[in-house]
Amino acid sequence: DGGITQSPKYLFRKEGQNVTLSCEQNLNHDAMYWYRQDPGQGLRLIYYSQIVNDFQKGDIAEGYSVSREKKESFPLTVTSAQKNPTAFYLCASSPIAAGGTEAFFGQGTRLTVV
């Protein structure tokens, strides 16, 4: 089935560690996005990419890094510089050709710092 797969579903990180969240899509979408969700804060954009080997910072990019080496994959690394990483992380993708508007979301990764 076509869709977006995020893994793992739950992730625990010790303070000072970097962790990488996986996002893979088989929808042949050009654009991919990472959002962070905190209670009462909605979805805030971390990074997005419209094409392979190119990406842009969102509103809260500090302490995060991404790569886009393949069209299907857009992993997010939460670095030790992110001071409050405990949150629900959502990956999305969308086509950017004319008429393509809907963003499809994965099921999320819940990251907890222990």
Partner 1 sequence: QQQVKQSPQSLIVQKGGISIINCAYENTAFDYFPWYQQFPGKGPALLIAIRPDVSEKKEGRFTISFNKSAKQFSLHIMDSQPGDSATYFCAARIFQAGTALIFGKGTTLSVSS
Closest contact distance (angstroms) between CB of 19 and partner 1 is 19
Q: Which of 12, 37, 9 is nearest to 22 (CA)?
A: 9
Closest contact distance (angstroms) between CB of 12 and partner 1 is 17
* Position among 40, 83, 84, 114 found at the interface with partner 1 (CB under 8 A): 40
* Position among 35, 55, 64, 74 found at the interface with partner 1 (CB under 8 A): 35
* Position among 31, 52, 60, 61 found at the interface with partner 1 (CB under 8 A): 31
DSSP state of 83: S
Half-sphere exposure of 1 (CA within 13 A, CB side): 3
- N-term to C-term CA, the chain: 35
d(CA 85, CA 58): 16
Q: Does 61 contact partner 1 by CB under 8 A?
A: no
Give the burial class of 54: count Cβ atoms within 10 A of its Cβ; 0-12 exposed, 13-18 middle, 19 or more buried: exposed
> Please, which residue, 2 or 42, has the CB nearer to partner 1?
42
Contact residues: partner 1, CB under 8 A: 4, 6, 31, 33, 35, 40-45, 48, 50, 58, 90, 92, 96, 101-108, 110
